[in-house]
A and B are shown apart, each in its own frame.
Chain A
Amino acid sequence: MFRPRVIPTLLLEDNQLVKTEKFKSPTYVGDPVNAIKVFNDKGVDEIVVLDITASIEGRKPDIEFISHMCGEAFMPFSYGGGITTVKEIKQLIKGGVEKVVLNASIQNDLNLVKDAAKEIGSQSIVACVDIKSNWLGKQMVYSHQSGKSLKIDIVRHIEALQNAGCGEIILQSVDLDGTMKGYDLNLIEKVSKVCTVPLVVLGGVGNFSHLEEGIEAGASAASAGSFFVFHGKHKAVLITYPTQEELAKLNS
């Protein structure tokens, strides 16, 4: 028996923790190293840290700082943001990162995925795919770096990522980010049908039932941001994580 993973995704801006809404208006939520310590003490399944301005600013991963965060993580730790070369991926893995999350650098060219999978192994290569509705309501792959939707078919993109050697996919809804209204279940169902590697879903979680819905819709693992860092209707910053008894409800 296994239990689908429940994964806090933390966002970094200038090495500080923030939380966004629909990819906008970042709110400061604390110090990342301290947050990771708290999550570690709560026995979290895994943690994902994404630097949300690295690619926009053309900044490389801050290996020393990332390694410092990893030192507090006695669970799998994934990092994404500003990664463009196999060399950087190797440095990150050597620095204690389990998995790297690629997004901006692989939207048009999958060679980084291919080369990295060959040298490091698919299990460490995660692709994050951001999905946003355009003004006609059509869902497209979104580029956070350029602030534009790309003319890429979602299903074809997922298939291409798998074929290139990604070992896991994070499917994120930009429209639901920070809204705490629940996952985009139609999107998850659609993607899960073609996904042969573990599928992590992100964007919209506001309560525990939302996590269950995501898993039922076909996700392998349920991720969230706001749900783990905000508490109450005034969104006071408080780090929480479900108990093992609660998580056992997700067993399959």
Chain B
Amino acid sequence: MKVGVLDYGVGNLLSVQNMLNKIGVRNELVSTIDDNFDCTHLILPGVGHFEHCMSEFEKSGLRSPMESLVFEKKLPLLGICVGHQMLYEGSEEGDIRGLGYIPGKVVKFDFELEENLRVPHMNWSYVNIEKENPLYPEKVTEYDRFYFVHSYHSQINQYSILSAEYGYNFCAAVQKENIFGVQFHPEKSHNYGMQLLKNFSNI
């Protein structure tokens, strides 16, 4: 087992690696994919602006080899934060097209006036399990929680496995076969995130 963290020049990759090291999961940064590629799992990180992340990813040349690993060899892929949003067809944050593996568009938090919550949503939130899944199969304690930092979110859809609430319910994680995405940051979510990354690397 070896997790490849896709390095296209965006995001806090060291945090992801720190946590994988902590839980004893072999990992490496991946900036090119060639014949010697031996990772069994892939993580697609992303922070900041959707359009910036997507255009940097397209420029990196990683998309096409990643897609053959994910669709032909069925390697599990986990998108984190904007990496999760990139799995969709697009986002209100920019005109660029997303990867389009999951139908729908990422939207900005939009509150009724009486619920004028501050954006970005920067909090630890409890999550609800929408569907049976291998990433977070059950609540371990009453206080299980994950760290979220985002101004945009995906809406609950047929592939949602977890939801969270900020003003209203939104999609916190998706799964479509071997493709996974989490809106929160497991690499910054203490032992809850450690367990989730452990579960991912055991898929």
Is B122 within 8 A of A168, CB to CB?
yes
In the bound assembly, the distance between CA atoms of A15 and B65 in angstroms comes to 44
In the bound assembly, the distance between CA atoms of A158 and B118 in angstroms comes to 14
Could you say which residues of chain A place their CB within 8 Å of the CB of B188? 74-76, 98
Is A123 within 8 A of B118, CB to CB?
no
Could you say which residues of chain A place their CB within 8 Å of the CB of B203? none
Could you say which residues of chain B place their CB within 8 Å of the CB of A96? 12, 14-15, 18
Given contact pairs A74-B22, A123-B150, A220-B118, A248 touches B165 in the complex (Cβ within 8 A): no
Given contact pairs A2-B125, A198-B122, A75 touches B48 in the complex (Cβ within 8 A): no
Question: Which listed residue, A75, A98, A197, A244, touches B119 by the CB 8 Å rule?
Answer: A197
In the bound assembly, the distance between CA atoms of A71 and B48 in angstroms comes to 22
Contacting A at CB under 8 A, from B18-77, are 18-19, 22, 47-49, 52
Question: Which listed residue, B49, B121, B126, B147, touches A121 by the CB 8 Å rule?
Answer: B49
Could you say which residues of chain A place their CB within 8 Å of the CB of B151? 122-123
In the bound assembly, the distance between CA atoms of A96 and B17 in angstroms comes to 10
Question: Which listed residue, B12, B119, B125, B141, touches A1 by the CB 8 Å rule?
Answer: B125
Contacting B at CB under 8 A, from A119-135, are 120-124
Q: How many residues of A contact B (CB 8 A)?
A: 37
In the bound assembly, the distance between CA atoms of A7 and B125 in angstroms comes to 15
Is B125 within 8 A of A121, CB to CB?
no
User: What residue of chain A has the Cβ atom nearest to residue B50's Cβ?
Assistant: A121
Could you say which residues of chain A place their CB within 8 Å of the CB of B190? 40, 43, 74-75
Q: How many residues of B contact A (CB 8 A)?
A: 39
Question: Which listed residue, B14, B122, B194, touches A123 by the CB 8 Å rule?
Answer: B122
Could you say which residues of chain A place their CB within 8 Å of the CB of B124? 2-3, 5, 45
B123 CB, nearest partner CB in chain A, Å: 4
In the bound assembly, the distance between CA atoms of A134 and B150 in angstroms comes to 38
Specify which of B147, B189, B193 lies most central, judged by the most chain A CB atoms within 10 Å of its CB. B147
Digit string of B147-180 for contact with A (CB within 8 Å is 1, else 0)? Answer: 1011100000000000011100000000000000
User: Is A70 close to B, CB under 8 A?
Assistant: yes
B162 CB, nearest partner CB in chain A, Å: 14
In the bound assembly, the distance between CA atoms of A197 and B143 in angstroms comes to 26
Is A199 within 8 A of B118, CB to CB?
yes
A91 CB, nearest partner CB in chain B, Å: 11
Contacting A at CB under 8 A, from B103-137, are 118-126
Is A123 within 8 A of B18, CB to CB?
no
User: Is A195 close to B, CB under 8 A?
Assistant: yes
User: Is A95 close to B, CB under 8 A?
Assistant: yes
User: Is B145 close to A, CB under 8 A?
Assistant: yes
User: Is A60 close to B, CB under 8 A?
Assistant: no
User: What residue of chain A has the Cβ atom nearest to residue B18's Cβ?
Assistant: A71
In the bound assembly, the distance between CA atoms of A96 and B189 in angstroms comes to 14
Interface residues of A (CB under 8 A from B): 1-5, 40, 43, 45-46, 67, 70-71, 74-76, 93-98, 120-124, 167-168, 195-199, 220-221, 244, 248
Of all A-B residue pairs in the complex, the 4 with the closest CB atoms, nearest first, are A121-B48, A244-B143, A96-B14, A2-B123
A-B contact list, 23 entries, CB within 8 Å: A3-B125, A5-B122, A43-B191, A45-B147, A67-B14, A74-B19, A74-B189, A74-B193, A76-B147, A93-B12, A94-B14, A95-B14, A96-B12, A98-B15, A121-B48, A121-B52, A123-B48, A123-B150, A167-B120, A168-B122, A198-B118, A220-B122, A220-B123
